[in-house]
Chains A and B, each alone.
Chain A
Amino acid sequence: MLALARYYVAAGKLSIQGQIQYRASTYFYLIGFLIEPVVYLVVWRTVAESQGGSIGGYSAEALTAYYIVWTLVRAMNVGFDPNAWGWRIQRGRLNEMLSRPIHPFHRDFAWFGGGKFVWILLWLPMAAGLWIAFRPQISPTLVEGTAFFVAIWLAFAVRFALLWALGMITFWTTRGSAIFEIFIAAELLLSGRLVPLELMPEWTQIIGAWLPFKWTFQFPIEVVIGRLTSGEVLAGLAIQTTWAAALIALIWVIWKPAVSKYTAVGG
């Protein structure tokens, strides 16, 4: 266990150094990401203002806070997506990882986890710019801030494991992108990524509660913008932990039959 922790620290540091080396490139990537919430923010603020200043219990300022926090949550929950998995399988890039005595999941998780520190650093000036441009209404307590810190790391764990499990489909088919597109569409509508679920039809809220998506987007945001009670926050953190554990367990179960299918198409 200690050796694994040491591996995580070392791989995380390597990732940080790599991301810093290509910081301009990472910055461009991040800017592309941040356009999405700015678009949603402008659209839903416009709708709220046309409805007298609030919609679905969210004021225009609260919606602004929602989408600005969204940008950090989005930067945090980026993982190794199924398209990248497809590339890895097609090019035979998994060979090298399979020859190591450590599960590739640890390598990817540590790599992406380490990179988050650089992403957060790069995110800060952008968030400051959005803050000045849109003036959000947000004043989290110390407890909410602490809970948010835990919630965004758990959101990362859940979404990372979800994407990794989904990516393993490419062991059976090298065309996993269609499945990934379905995933993105479902996530967009059922996670609070497009809009807080309170603004969606009721049936989507019911379905959303039973799927992992909400716990990777809306839940961490709601924690810090102060829309949840202490009990709801604790329950939410417990649900996130359960999802992360279940998905990682699933990966461990599928791994063996998946690798037995591996043929390194272009390796």
Chain B
Amino acid sequence: MNPVKLGWMHLRISALNELQYRANFFLAAFNALLALATGLIVIGLVYSHTESLNGWSQPELLIVMGVHVFIGGLIRAFVEPNMYQLMQDIEEGTLDYTLTRPADAQLLVSVRATSIWQTVDLAIGLIVVAIGVVQLQTATTVAHVTAFILTILLGVVIIYCVWLMITTAAFKLIRVDNMVQMLQGIYQAGRWPVSIYPLWLRGGLTFIIPLAFAITVPAEALADRLAGSTIALAVAFSAVVMLVTRLIWRWGLANYSGASA
């Protein structure tokens, strides 16, 4: 079966399942708006004491924040639910049911679950990005928007790969739920451009947990701060991360023994 068709069908079914619980929408919207208000207060507070944060103006920071909210929404809506499901299946030995199906196991474990209401963050993130762009003093061109879309797509791929690599450790360690807690904590660092961090942390946020590629680089694209070489690096990096993720996934599957099946 066509992998795209299969993935779409799974996503549709899990989304329809989630759509039954409409109260969750109000909860997700409330949480998203509260997080947005808090984020805006924090940015306002920082810029009440300074005009520039290591060369970043307030509108540019708004764009970073919008991208952070957008990518965070994608993670919570599509990546995390699947990773939690995978962790649970590995721990309980129920991954067998997925592995016996005649389709690629990595694809199946990546499209089984959705928290569709979390997509409210996608809308909020894009609105914040748009407000940041409008407040910018420079003109935003088609090239900027194209680079933004391309780097966002690469960022999504990279973040998915990192989440899957971490989750794959469950094949060996069994309990990795706190690793995901750790990732969620580290993700908060992406709310600020990585260039403000000291070198050692910047390195970690670029190549180990690559929030630089997922959040700062797309924001730089819109703020006219992005060099062409960075886009090339992002493309090359995402290709390497995809390859490594695939290898780690296959290694993980080889270690799976259906512990509690």
A residues neighboring B (CB under 8 Å): 22, 24-26, 28-29, 31-36, 38-39, 42-43, 46-47, 50-51, 55-56, 133, 175, 177-178, 181-182, 185, 188-189, 194-195, 199-200
Contact = CB atoms under 8 A, between A and B. Distances in A.
Nearest to B38: A185
A42 B30 CA distance: 29
B191 A39 contact: yes
Contact of B185 (A31, A177, A194, A195): A31
A84 B200 CA distance: 35
A182 B50 contact: no
Contacts of A195: 45
A47 B23 contact: no
A188 B38 contact: yes
Contacts of A39: 188-189, 191-192
Contacts of A34: 185
B50 A51 contact: yes
B196 A199 contact: no
Contacts of B176: 25, 28
Interface string B170-193: 000101111101111110110110
B197 interface: yes
A193 B257 CA distance: 45
A171 to B, nearest CB: 19
A188 to B, nearest CB: 6
Interface SS, A side: helix
Given A28-B178, A175-B27, A189-B38, 4 more contacts: A24-B173, A181-B30, A185-B38, A194-B42
Contact of A43 (B31, B178, B185, B192): B192
22 contacts: A22-B175, A24-B173, A25-B176, A29-B181, A31-B182, A31-B186, A34-B185, A35-B189, A38-B201, A39-B188, A42-B196, A43-B196, A46-B54, A50-B52, A50-B53, A50-B54, A133-B200, A175-B27, A178-B27, A182-B34, A188-B38, A189-B38
Contacts of B22: none
A25 to B, nearest CB: 4
B183 A32 contact: yes
Contact of B31 (A33, A56, A177, A189): A177
Nearest to B197: A42
Nearest to A182: B34
Contact of A25 (B42, B175, B186, B197): B175
Interface of B: 23, 27, 30-31, 34-35, 37-38, 41-42, 45-46, 49-50, 52-54, 173, 175-179, 181-186, 188-189, 191-192, 196-198, 200-201
B45 A199 contact: yes
B205 to A, nearest CB: 10
Contacts of B192: 39, 42-43
Q: Give 9 nearest A-B pairs by CB, closest first.
A: A32-B185, A32-B182, A28-B178, A28-B182, A29-B178, A25-B178, A35-B185, A50-B50, A32-B181
Contact of B34 (A33, A133, A185): A185
Given A22-B175, A185-B38, A199-B49, A42 B31 contact: no
A47 B175 contact: no
A199 B49 CA distance: 9
Contacts of A31: 182, 185-186
Contacts of B45: 194-195, 199-200
Contact of B30 (A32, A33, A178, A189): A178
Given A42-B201, A46-B53, A185-B37, A36 B185 contact: yes
A29 B198 contact: no
Contacts of B200: 133
Nearest to A177: B27
A195 B53 CA distance: 16
A28 B196 contact: no
Nearest to A44: B46
B27 to A, nearest CB: 6
A24 B179 CA distance: 9
B217 to A, nearest CB: 19
Contacts of A43: 46, 53, 192, 196
A28 B181 contact: yes
B177 to A, nearest CB: 8
Contacts of A178: 27, 30-31
Contacts of A24: 173
A33 B185 contact: yes
A47 B196 contact: no
A29 B30 CA distance: 26
A195 B38 CA distance: 13
A133 B175 CA distance: 31
B201 A181 contact: no
A73 to B, nearest CB: 16
